[in-house]
Structure 1
Amino acid sequence: MAAGLAPASGIVVDGREEGAESGATFTTRNPATGRPIAEVARGDTPDVDRAVRSARRAFDSGVWAAAPPAERKAVLLRLAALVLEHADELAVLDTVDGGKLITDTSQFDVPGAAAILQWYAEMIDKTYGEVAPTAPGDLAIVTREPLGVVGAVVPWNYPLEMAIWKVAPALAAGNSVVLKPAEQSPLSAIRLGLLAVRAGLPAGVLNVVPGYGHEAGRALGEHPDVDCIAFTGSTAVGKLYLQYAGASNLKQVWPECGGKSANIVFADAADLAAAARLTADRMFGCAGQVCSANSRLLVEKSVAKDFVAAVSARAMELVVGDPLDPASTLGPLVSPEQAERVMGHIERGQESAALVLGGHRVEGLPGGCFVEPTVFTDVDPASALAQEEIFGPVLAVTTFEREEEAVRIANDSSYGLAASVWSDGLARTLRVSRALRVGTVSVNTIDALDVVTPFGGVKQSGFGRDLSAHSLEKYTSLKTTWFAS
C-alpha cells in the first residue's frame, strides 16, 4: 500500500485543498528509508492569514458555534467514523511520514484518535452551565462560551492522535481551528482536514496549514485574530509562544511541553520482573520519542544490578527494523537531524556515566535514523543525561538507598510532566505520589493514560491540559449574565 501512496499535501482552507500562496513546498521523507514521500505546501504568513480569516468568518457566522449541540455532535461522530473507515490509510501515513511502527499506528493511534473524537462528541450535549446563588428576585447564570479561533500546534511523535487531542475538544466547545502540524509529519493532519469536510464540518471551521515552525508556526502565534494557542512540543518553543502572545493580542496559550520523567522502583515492588519488562517497553516505545517517557530510572540500590540486567535483556529482544514490517518492535527516529542530536547526547554521556547497552546507530538499515536501545548506569542526577530531554531511546539509571533520596532526585528537574512509582506498600506509594511534583503519577505501571483523565504537567513541562472534560475549559471563557429584579 505504501508504494502506491499519493497523499494529500496541500493547505486546507475554507474546505478546499490549495497550494501555498508563494507556491513554495518542502519535502517530507520516510525516515526509515530516506526517500521522499511528497512535496508539501509550505505555509507562511499569508497562508496563516488566509486560514485565520476563514476560521473567523466561520465562527462569526455561527454556522458551527451557534449550531444546536445535537448537530455538532452528529458531525463529530461522522468524522470519527470516517477516521475508522480510513484507518489503514491514516496508519500508513503516520508510519511512513513519522517512522512509527505500523502495529502501533493501526492498533492504537488511529483507533485511539477516533475514540477521543467520539468521546468529545458525546460531551457536547452533556455540558451544562451554572446558576449562581443570588438574592431573591435576581438570577445569575454562568455559561461557557467558545473562545473563537483556536490555533493548534502539534508535534511529530503522534501526528494524528496529538492533532485530535487539540482539535476534538476545541471543536466540541464550538470554536473554529487552524491546525499547524509538525513539518516532519504533516500528512495525516492534512488528510484529517479533508475528512472533516466530508463529515459535514462547515467550511472554515477546521483549517490545516503545514509549514515550518519559524514561519507558519510563528505567524499563527503572533496573529492578532487568534484567540488561543494550544501547543504540544519542546519547552523552548512553548516559551516562544508565550512571547508571541505577549507581543500580539495577549491570546491564551496552553503549553504542554517537554519532560524527563522519573520511574522510581523500590525493592518491595510485588513483581520486579514485570516492572523491568514494562520499563523497557515503555522507554523504548516510539523510539523513546515520547514527552512523558520515563527516561530516568531510579532504582533502589539493593535490587539495581538485577533490575537493570532485566531491563537490558528485554531491550535486547527488540527487533529494530522497517516500521511497516509487523515484526519490527523498534523503528527509526523521525529524521536524520533528530538521530544526530540523540547520538550527540550518547557520545557526551559516555564522559560521565557507564554505557551498558547500545549507544550506536544500527548498521545495515537505510535512512540513518535507527539508533539502538541505549542504557547508561551510574548517572549523576545533575548531569545532562539526567536533566535534558533527549527524546530518543536513551535510559539514564541512578540508584538510591532511601525513600526521601528517591523523591529528592525525582523532583530535581526543571520538568514535571509524569512519574511512576513501583512498590507493594500502599502507604509508601501514597507518600511518594503526593511528594512528586508532576502532573501524573502512575503507580505500579508506567505512563497511565486515558481520555477520562487530564494529561499535562507542572514547572517547565507547561500548564496546559489535554484529555478529559477539563480540557474543554481551556477552549471556553466564562460568561456571567445577571438578571436584576
Structure 2
Amino acid sequence: MKRFSLYIGGEFVDGNGPTIASENPYSRRTWAEFNSADTGQVDAAVNAAQAASSQWRRSSGVTRAALMFRLAELLERDADELAEIETLDNGKIIRETRNQIRFAARNYRYYAGLADKMYGETKQLDNVDMLNYTVREPHGAVALLTAWNSPISLLSNKLPPALACGNTAVIKPSEFASVSTLAMAQLVAEAGFPAGVINVLAGTADVGRALVSHPKINMVSFTGSVGVGRAIAHAAAESLIPVALELGGKSANVIFADAVIENAVSGAVAGIFAAAGQTCVAGSRLLVDERVYDEVTEGVLNRASVIKLGDPLDEATEMGPIATVPQYERIRQAISDAVSEGATLALGGAEANVDGEPLFVPPTVLTGVSSEMRVAQEEIFGPVLSIQSFTTEAEAVEIANATPFGLAGGVWTSDLSRAHRVSRELACGMVWVNTYRATATQAPFGGFGHSGYGRERGTEAIESYTRIKNTMIDTSGAARDPFLLKT
C-alpha cells in the first residue's frame, strides 16, 4: 500500500479529511491511499498561493522559465514511474500514459519559452502628446481542476501557462484519479519552486466546491463534465472572476466517398476506441457517405472486433478497463437505452470479463442511429460508436452540428476545397482533416457550446491567464481644463 500526501505552502501534509483509496480498475485491488483535504486546508492552500503571488509575479520570466525547464526534465526522468502510477489509478494503457507524460514535459518547455515574452502594445492615439501602452498582468492565485481520464496531461494544459504568466496555483485533481498528481508534487518540490507557488490538494467534490468559491481565488480553469462546469461557472459568477472550461464532447467524424477508406477506417477506430473512449474528443459519431457506408461499416467492425483488451500495463494491450464502477454502469446503461430507442447493436455491448475482471466494455458499434436518439446527443465517455449515413455535404454538416456540444470534429476527404469548406462549417473548436486525435503544444484547443469556452495550449492560452492593463501618460506637461474630458 502506498500513501500520498497533500502539498501546501511547500510542505507535504496529510489531509485532515477521510481516507480515499485508489482501486486499480484492472485488478480491482486497492494499491494506494491518501487523506482528503478539509476546508481548513483549502483555506491554507489558497492563502499560501496568495502569499507567494506578489513575489512570483515580480520574478523575471527567466527565473520562472528555469524552474519550468527543470520540472520538464524531472517529468521526463520519471515518465515511466508516473505513467505506471496513472495507469494503476485510471486503467489507461501504459503506452498512452507514458506518451502523455512526455507530452506534458513538452508543454512545460513551450511555456517556459514564453515566460519572458509577455508583451503588451503601444497604441497611437489621436492626441500625439498622450503615450498609451498595455501590459499583461497575472490574475494572482488560480484554481486548476482536472478530470480523472488524463490527470497529468490535462494539468499540463493549465499549469505551465499559468506559471509562465506569473500566477500561483492551487491544483485539485479528480477524487477518482488523484495519485499521479500527488506524486508529481514531489517533483515540484525537487525542482525548487518557491513555497506556495504550486499547491496540490486532493479530496471529495466538497474540496473542489470550497476551492472554486474561495474569495481569494482570482481565476478558475476546469476540465470535466458539463454539469460540474455549470456549477463552477455559477460559483465564479458570484465572485466575478474569470473561468475557463474544457467540458464534454459528442464529436462527429465525417467520412466522404472520396476519402482514402483504409485511412478513414483506422482514424474512426482510433478516434473512439483509443483510451476506451474515455476522452472528451472521442469521435463517438461516425457520419458516412451512403456510397461507401457498407464498406466503411464493415471495415470498422472488422478492425474493432480484434482490438486486444487486457492488462493496461501490458504493452500489447490496446484497450484497458473502464476507470470507475459508476462510469462502467453509465456506459452499459447508455448502450441498453440506445437499443431500446431503436439502434442496432452491430458489435459489442455485452459484459466482457477479461482475465476474470468485470470492468471492461468491449468495443461497441451501433447502427441505425438517428440524430434524435440520446446516443447521438449525450456524451457516453466510453467505447461506443454510433454510425449514421448522409447523402450530401450539406446533410453531413447538418447532422454533425445537431448536438449542443462543439469540441472537435473530423473530416476525411481527398478534395482540398471540401476539406476547407466543411472545416469552416463545423461548429466546433478543433477540426482534424484526414487524421484524428493529433495534438500539438502550439495548437490551441477548446470548444463551443456545451463543450465550454476559453482555449488551452498555444499562445492563445495566455489570454486565459492574464488580464490587460492600459496606461495613458500625458507627455505635454500642459495644464488642462478640469471640467473637460481630455481626448
Q: TM-score, normalised by structure 2?
A: 0.95
Among 210, 213, 216, the residue aligned to 2:207:
216
Q: Give the match for residue 34 of structure 2.
A: 40
Cα offset, 1:150, TM superposition: 0.5
Among 218, 223, 232, the residue aligned to 1:232:
223
Alignment of 1:205 onto 2:197: yes
Alignment partners' CA distance in 2, 1:155 and 1:44: 20
Cα offset, 1:121, TM superposition: 0.5
Among 56, 78, 92, the residue aligned to 2:70:
78
Question: What are the Cα deviations for residues 204-252 of structure 1, in whole angstroms up to 9, with x where unaligned?
Answer: 0000111122x111111111110111011111110000111123x2111
Q: Name the aligned partner's letter for residue 444 of structure 1.
A: N
Q: Give the match for residue 161 of structure 2.
A: 169
Q: Name the aligned partner's letter for residue 59 of structure 1.
A: S
Mind listing any 5+ residue stretches in structure 1 that lack a counterpart?
A: none
- The worse-fitting range, judged by mean Cα deviation, of 394-403 and 355-364 is 355-364
Cα offset, 1:169, TM superposition: 0.6
Alignment partners' CA distance in 2, 1:44 and 1:446: 41
Q: Counterparts of 1:221-300 in structure 2 under 5 Å?
A: 221-247=212-238, 249-269=239-259, 271-300=260-289
Alignment partners' CA distance in 2, 1:360 and 1:464: 38
Alignment partners' CA distance in 1, 2:106 and 2:220: 24
Q: Name the aligned partner's letter for residue 443 of structure 1.
A: V
Describe the SS at the equivalent of 1:481. Answer: strand
Cα offset, 1:368, TM superposition: 2.5
Q: Give the match for residue 412 of structure 2.
A: 422
Q: Name the aligned partner's letter for residue 40 of structure 1.
A: F
Among 114, 118, 126, the residue aligned to 1:127:
118
Higher Cα Rg, which structure: 2
Mind listing any 5+ residue stretches in structure 2 that lack a counterpart?
A: 476-487
Question: What are the Cα deviations for residues 310-368 of structure 1, in whole angstroms up to 9, with x where unaligned?
Answer: 01111122110000111111001111111111000011111210111111221243542
Alignment of 1:343 onto 2:332: yes
Alignment partners' CA distance in 2, 1:38 and 1:427: 53
Alignment of 1:141 onto 2:133: yes
Q: Give the match for residue 318 of structure 2.
A: 329
Alignment partners' CA distance in 2, 1:205 and 1:418: 33
Q: Name the aligned partner's letter for residue 153 of structure 1.
A: L
Alignment partners' CA distance in 2, 1:36 and 1:464: 37
Among 295, 299, 316, the residue aligned to 1:306:
295
Alignment partners' CA distance in 2, 1:365 and 1:221: 41
Contact map agreement 1:27 1:40 (CA 8 A) in 2: yes
Contact map agreement 1:260 1:416 (CA 8 A) in 2: yes
Q: Name the aligned partner's letter for residue 105 of structure 2.
A: A
Q: Give the match for residue 387 of structure 2.
A: 397
Contact map agreement 1:148 1:175 (CA 8 A) in 2: yes
Alignment partners' CA distance in 2, 1:251 and 1:297: 38
Assess, with a 3 A threshold, how the Cα gap between structure 1 residues 366 and 189 changes in structure 2: closer, same or farther. Answer: farther
Q: Name the aligned partner's letter for residue 330 of structure 1.
A: M
Describe the SS at the equivalent of 1:356. Answer: strand
Describe the SS at the equivalent of 2:31. Answer: strand
Describe the SS at the equivalent of 2:57. Answer: coil
Question: What are the Cα deviations for residues 165-214 of structure 1, in whole angstroms up to 9, with x where unaligned?
Answer: 1111101111000000011111111122221121111010000111122x
Contact map agreement 1:287 1:333 (CA 8 A) in 2: yes
Alignment of 1:19 onto 2:9: no
Describe the SS at the equivalent of 2:382. Answer: coil
Alignment partners' CA distance in 2, 1:282 and 1:416: 16
Describe the SS at the equivalent of 2:291. Answer: helix
Contact map agreement 2:353 2:359 (CA 8 A) in 1: no
Cα offset, 1:464, TM superposition: 2.0
Contact map agreement 1:33 1:366 (CA 8 A) in 2: no
Q: Name the aligned partner's letter for residue 168 of structure 2.
A: S
Contact map agreement 1:418 1:447 (CA 8 A) in 2: no
Contact map agreement 1:280 1:312 (CA 8 A) in 2: no
Contact map agreement 2:16 2:35 (CA 8 A) in 1: no
Describe the SS at the equivalent of 2:292. Answer: helix
Describe the SS at the equivalent of 2:148. Answer: coil
Q: Name the aligned partner's letter for residue 468 of structure 1.
A: G
Question: What are the Cα deviations for residues 120-179 of structure 1, in whole angstroms up to 9, with x where unaligned?
Answer: 101112331211113323211100000001000100111111011111110111100000
Alignment of 1:49 onto 2:38: no
Describe the SS at the equivalent of 2:210. Answer: helix
Alignment of 1:374 onto 2:359: no
| Matched positions, count | 473
Q: Name the aligned partner's letter for residue 228 of structure 2.
A: V
Q: Name the aligned partner's letter for residue 159 of structure 1.
A: P
Describe the SS at the equivalent of 2:158. Answer: helix
Contact map agreement 1:354 1:378 (CA 8 A) in 2: yes
Describe the SS at the equivalent of 1:407. Answer: helix
- The worse-fitting range, judged by mean Cα deviation, of 435-444 and 134-143 is 134-143
Q: TM-score, normalised by structure 1?
A: 0.96
Question: What are the Cα deviations for residues 248-305 of structure 1, in whole angstroms up to 9, with x where unaligned?
Answer: x211111111100000111111x10111012112210000001011100000111111
Alignment partners' CA distance in 2, 1:246 and 1:116: 30
Contact map agreement 1:264 1:421 (CA 8 A) in 2: yes
Contact map agreement 1:281 1:315 (CA 8 A) in 2: no
Q: Name the aligned partner's letter for residue 13 of structure 1.
A: I
Contact map agreement 1:420 1:447 (CA 8 A) in 2: no
Q: Give the match for residue 383 of structure 1.
A: 373
RMSD: 1.2
Alignment partners' CA distance in 2, 1:89 and 1:154: 20
Describe the SS at the equivalent of 1:350. Answer: helix
Runs of 4+ in 1 over 2 A off after TM superposition: 134-138, 364-368
Describe the SS at the equivalent of 2:184. Answer: helix
Q: Give the match for residue 99 of structure 1.
A: 91
Q: Name the aligned partner's letter for residue 96 of structure 2.
A: D
Q: Name the aligned partner's letter for residue 19 of structure 1.
A: D
